[in-house]
């Protein structure tokens, strides 16, 4: 059997295979509330055979959304609207995660933005307000409340978004965090808020269910930014807290930086973090072929494969990949006559 189609058990959650749908903003929500678009979009990938569906960046507060049309999980209406979506994804055999996020200085909606320091992402973005210590506590609280709503809505997994230059990444990186208090300068201080968020969620989330973190493994500007050496130290702290899985991406915190994009371009980071921090990792980024995905797993570079754009092009990628890799029949029985 292909490794890609062996189950992955994390705590007591058995994920049927190692093809995960990467979180992808749909910019289709009104007031943060998911609707029939999200339902069809996410359920299609469950029908298409993926093991874990990860819902797009979902704001923990109104200003934590990226845009006015991003999802949120900060009120009852949103919580209720997620329930049938979670249910239909699960009924089709996949597990489901929500990516809890705060955009910080990268928010582009009709709201004011906040950040560790008052430095805009670039000249086209809003000037963020520096978060006070009290407001930092409120950010932690909003993650906690969103995680409670996620559990009520039936999610199996919470993924905390600490990548792509959003708020928690802004705190981690010396490029965007110029604070001189307990939340800036040294690595210990820059990690403080992201670790507080991880801890409050891990302490609350059921012991039998996993917590994931999505990280950018580098800012692609060397020591001036967030880079692999510090990332490994940070992941060891996340592991101590009980985070189970690192979804390894890169970039997003420095505008106009050159990134050597190509097939597998971020796999190296997933491999390094997996080996050095001894934690489960997911590889993402221009992984498009079944054999390519299988090889990453067989070579021990990651424990799961996350697919983004290729899954937008083909919701049945996993069914087809299973056939290509070993004639495994993972299609829904309703589709039997097609195979
Ligand atoms: C339309 C779109 C929306 C995205 N939204 C998110 C998001 O909400 N959260 C996130 O962490 N990454 C987001 N990403 C990044 C993807 O999860 C993924 O890491 C990236 O597309 C690289 O994988 P790929 O080459 O398989 O597409 C988005 C990407 C796309 C194309």
Q: Where are the domains of the chain?
A: 14-332
Å from CA of 312 to ligand 1 middle:
10
pLDDT the model gives residue 200: 98
Nearest CA to ligand 1 atom 2: 24
pLDDT the model gives residue 233: 98
Does 58 sit in the ligand 1 pocket, CB within 6 Å? no
Closest ligand 1 atom to residue 311 Cα is 26
Mutate which of 19, 25, 71 to test ligand 1's pocket (most atoms within 8 Å of Cβ)?
25
Percent of the chain with pLDDT over 70: 100
Look at residue 327 and tell me whether its pLDDT is greater than 90: no
Does 286 sit in the ligand 1 pocket, CB within 6 Å? yes
Q: 101: which strand partners?
A: 59
pLDDT the model gives residue 302: 99
Closest ligand 1 atom to residue 57 Cα is 8
pLDDT the model gives residue 153: 99
Closest ligand 1 atom to residue 22 Cα is 17
Would you say the pTM of this structure is higher than 0.85?
yes
Å from CA of 132 to ligand 1 middle:
31
Q: Report yes or no: 306 and 247 within 8 Å, Cβ to Cβ.
A: yes
Closest ligand 1 atom to residue 286 Cα is 25
Look at residue 154 and tell me whether its pLDDT is greater than 90: yes
pLDDT the model gives residue 322: 97
Nearest CA to ligand 1 atom 13: 24
Report pLDDT digits (tens) over 3-55. 999 999 999 999 999 999 999 999 999 999 999 999 999 999 999 999 999 99
| Separation of alpha carbons 228 and 234, rounded Å | 10
Report pLDDT digits (tens) over 118-143. 999 999 999 999 999 999 999 999 99
Q: Which residue has the tokens 């970039």?
A: 251
How many CB atoms are located within 10 Å of the residue 158 CB? Answer: 25
Q: What is the mean pLDDT of residues 282-289?
A: 98
Nearest CA to ligand 1 atom 7: 24
CATH number of 14-332: 3.20.20.70
Q: Report yes or no: 21 and 56 within 8 Å, Cβ to Cβ.
A: no
pLDDT the model gives residue 185: 97
Does 307 sit in the ligand 1 pocket, CB within 6 Å? yes
The SS3 call for residue 148 is helix
Mutate which of 20, 21, 24 to test ligand 1's pocket (most atoms within 8 Å of Cβ)?
24
Q: What is the mean pLDDT of residues 298-327?
A: 97
Q: What is the mean pLDDT of residues 80-108?
A: 98
Q: Return the sign of the alpha-carbon dihedral for residues 28, 30, 34, 35.
A: negative
Look at residue 1 and tell me whether its pLDDT is greater than 90: no
């Amino acid at each position: 059997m292909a490794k890609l189609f062996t189950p992955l058990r994390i705590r007591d959650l058995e994920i049927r295979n190692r093809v995960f749908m990467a979180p992808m903003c749909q910019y289709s929500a009104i007031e943060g509330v998911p609707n029939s678009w999200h339902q069809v979009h996410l359920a299609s990938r469950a029908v298409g055979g993926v093991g874990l569906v990860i819902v797009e960046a979902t704001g923990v507060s109104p200003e934590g959304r990226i845009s006015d049309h991003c999802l949120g999980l900060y009120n009852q209406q949103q919580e209720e609207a997620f329930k049938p979506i979670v249910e239909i994804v699960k009924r089709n055999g996949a597990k489901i995660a929500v990516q809890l996020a705060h955009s910080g200085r990268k928010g582009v909606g009709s709201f004011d933005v906040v950040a560790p320091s008052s430095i805009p992402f670039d000249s086209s973005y809003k000037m963020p307000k520096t978060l006070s210590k009290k407001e930092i506590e409120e950010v932690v609280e909003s993650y906690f409340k969103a995680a409670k709503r996620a559990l009520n809505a039936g999610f199996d997994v919470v993924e905390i978004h600490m990548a792509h230059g959003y708020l928690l990444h802004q705190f981690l990186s010396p490029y965007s965090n110029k604070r001189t208090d307990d939340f800036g300068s040294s690595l210990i201080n820059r990690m403080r808020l992201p670790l507080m968020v991880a801890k409050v969620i891990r302490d609350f989330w059921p012991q039998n269910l996993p917590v994931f973190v999505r990280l950018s493994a580098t800012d692609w500007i060397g020591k001036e930014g967030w880079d692999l050496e510090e990332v490994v130290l940070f992941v060891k702290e996340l592991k101590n807290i009980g985070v189970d899985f690192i979804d390894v991406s890169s970039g997003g915190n420095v505008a106009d930086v050159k990134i050597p994009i190509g097939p597998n371009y971020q796999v190296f980071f997933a491999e390094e973090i997996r080996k050095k921090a001894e934690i489960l990792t997911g590889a993402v980024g221009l992984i498009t072929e079944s054999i390519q995905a299988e090889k990453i797993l067989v070579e021990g570079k990651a424990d799961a494969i996350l697919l983004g754009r290729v899954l937008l092009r083909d919701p049945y990628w996993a069914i087809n990949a299973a056939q290509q890799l070993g004639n495994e029949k993972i299609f829904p029985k309703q589709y039997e006559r097609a195979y």
